[in-house]
Structure 1
Amino acid sequence: MVPPFSLSDAPVTALPGFRRTFPRGRLTLGLFLPVDAGRAEEPDVDIIRQVELVRRAEAAGFAAVWLRDIPLRDPDFGDVGQVWDPVSYLGYLAASTSKIALGTGAVVVPLRHPLHLAKQAASIDHLSGGRFLFGVATGDRSSEFPAFGVAEGERDAVFREHLQVMQQAWTTEKRGIRWSGGRMWGGDVVPKPLAVRPPLLTVGSCLQSMAWHREHADAHVTYQRPLPVQQKYLGTWREEGNDKPFAMSMSLDLHPDPEAAVGPIKFGWRVGVRHLRRILHELEDMGVDHVILGLKRGTRPAEDVLDELIEDVIPAFRA
């Protein structure tokens, strides 16, 4: 284990969370938290129950669980997202699990101070034993930006600048950092991460070009699209010889009939387990490395769906 005051030159690909989630050449599965269905505005907030479900997923072979960063509840949005603060929740999950990767999908970078965020990300990196996956985004809830004093139209530039500040904080010692929102002189951010940085995953477009993503991200996460469209999008990520991992989220309403055909829902499918396995194998053959399943739009109890996934799907995609 790297001491928290020491700079590391280890690659992010050596970290256990990254290796578990992106084992190269085969697809793994993750879960969005909370593991709950049909209650987007008032999801399950029983942390004890959620940790029990995460432990069950960990033992079965899910590669990762993922937390969203929703600073404010917006009644007009129709989805409260994540009730608990993701940084606090990640610390709790790190202490409650031992193998499963812990990811953010994603932290809204423009709304957070970059030095605080650098310290928080490196802390979770250490507390989880290198299982943290740092998913980042620019945010898409317009009501949040004026509340935090950020111009929504400038969030793409703020996003890039804050990432640069964090990278400097992680890779230097007692060196000044100056940016449009402040300056640090004579101080230092600790702990330093276990690798050159916590694995950085860009989630969604982040209002950046794909060339920017290929250069700056360690992996890329996007949402579900029709398979031919997703294959074309994946092709833009793979341009110029880029072999970094590619992940996607998928809303799932698992039909009680295992033979049920595929039907669309928002950002996903309503489908029986047999056709779900077929879809996942097609994505694997396409070159998708990780699929994050979201159960909130499901019509069955989430625990029943998790049990069925563990029995009938995970054996083919076990981490």
Structure 2
Amino acid sequence: MTPFSLSSAPTDSLPGFRRVFPGGRLTLGLALPLDSGSAEEPDVNIAHQIALVQRVEAAGFAAVWLRDIPLRDPDFGDVGQTWDPISYLGYLAASTSVLALGTAAIVVPVRHPLHLAKQAASIDHLSGGRFLFGVATGDRSSEYPAFGVQEGHRDEMFREHLGVMQQAWTTQHRGIRWSGGRMWGGDVVPKPLAVRPPLLTVGSCLQSMAWHREHADAHVTYHRALPVQKKYIDGWRSEGNGKPFAMSMSLDLHADVDAAAGPIKFGWRVGARRLVEILRELEAMGVDHVILGVKRGTRPAEEVVDELIHHVIPEFRV
């Protein structure tokens, strides 16, 4: 397989997809940065972050995940992980060996689809097939006018840009025309290692569940109360859909490993042993992967990572 040849391999054959979604059991990932209590000014010490990432890779976490927040908006109070996700993915690919590397998620409407097709396929190759391409429409109103996008049309642009990328990945020197431009006589390289980098839709993307079932290789959503999440999963699983389901969960890990769970925004404040019980319940409901985010926590990230490695990962190690 060269960067210039088309691939017919299925997305679920790639090592990143297989690591995160081995089938029949739940795996765990972590959202970057591994930092707590500093959402507006998180840890930007790359050496420190990479050292933590390498620790969680060795311990048996399945993946780390990067958010895409193009602009800092003080009204949100959360700058994301600061670094451009595509650039950071290249650094992470060179700093790890088996860990899956995912985006949760790239804001597709504000990016040029040909650039994004090239970037995604490049990370696919540079990581040795460990890239998971999470995509979304975004939700920060201040970003759309900055990039010349009409917020009310972002659902249509999302679908159209994905279609452009799919054509770029699966054809050679064939013209592509869409509402934002046309390519004639050119070609986007590299071509991905499979028919496309594994495509994960994150959140609603302003599309129907039927659309997600048809077009995504897996689906990612946010934390909900367990009964509500069960209904959502059932909607994803309807019509015989067996594609993987993942979710994010904010975590404030209690110092008492046996502390009962109490709700926080989009997650739980809970002790490590009780967290295992929650994860087992989610696994039984049909969740394949949980992305833990520690930014809302009250303890240093190093302590949280240590306790997760000691008490939680042995139950879900890959």
TM-score above 0.5, yes or no: yes
1:66-108 deviation line (CA, Å, top 9, x unaligned): 0000100001111111200000000000000000000000000
In structure 2, the partner of 1:23 is: 22
Q: Cα RMSD between the aligned structures? A: 0.4
Which amino acid in 2 is paired with 1:28? T
Uncovered stretches (5+) of structure 1, i.e. residues with no partner: none
Is 1:268 equivalent to 2:264 in the alignment? no
In structure 2, how many angstroms separate the alpha carbons of the residues matched to 1:179 and 1:267?
37
Per the alignment, in what secondary structure is the counterpart of residue 246 of structure 2?
Answer: strand
In structure 2, the partner of 1:3 is: 2
In structure 2, the partner of 1:226 is: 225
Q: Given the two structures, how large is their TM-score scaled by the length of structure 1?
A: 0.99
In structure 2, the partner of 1:91 is: 90
Per the alignment, in what secondary structure is the counterpart of residue 313 of structure 1?
Answer: helix
In structure 2, the partner of 1:51 is: 50
Which amino acid in 1 is paired with 2:141? S
Which amino acid in 1 is paired with 2:243? K
Q: 1:258: Cα distance to partner?
A: 1.0
In structure 2, how many angstroms separate the alpha carbons of the residues matched to 1:274 and 1:312?
7
Per the alignment, in what secondary structure is the counterpart of residue 88 of structure 2?
Answer: helix
In structure 2, how many angstroms separate the alpha carbons of the residues matched to 1:76 and 1:236?
33
In structure 2, the partner of 1:71 is: 70
Is 1:163 equivalent to 2:162 in the alignment? yes
In structure 2, the partner of 1:315 is: 314
In structure 2, the partner of 1:186 is: 185
In structure 1, how many angstroms separate the alpha carbons of the residues matched to 2:210 and 2:281?
26
In structure 2, how many angstroms separate the alpha carbons of the residues matched to 1:257 and 1:315?
18
1:215-245 deviation line (CA, Å, top 9, x unaligned): 0000000000011110100000000000000
Which amino acid in 2 is paired with 1:181? G
Which amino acid in 1 is paired with 2:255? P
In structure 2, the partner of 1:281 is: 280
1:200-224 deviation line (CA, Å, top 9, x unaligned): 0000000000000000000000000
Large movers: runs of 4+ above 2 Å: none
Q: Given the two structures, how large is their TM-score scaled by the length of structure 2?
A: 1.00
User: Percent identity of the aligned residues?
Assistant: 81
In structure 2, how many angstroms separate the alpha carbons of the residues matched to 1:259 and 1:199?
37
Is 1:255 equivalent to 2:290 in the alignment? no
Counting matched residue pairs gives 318
Superposed, 1:112-127 pairs within 5 Å as 112-127=111-126
1:254-293 deviation line (CA, Å, top 9, x unaligned): 0001111110000000001111000000011111000000
Per the alignment, in what secondary structure is the counterpart of residue 149 of structure 2?
Answer: coil
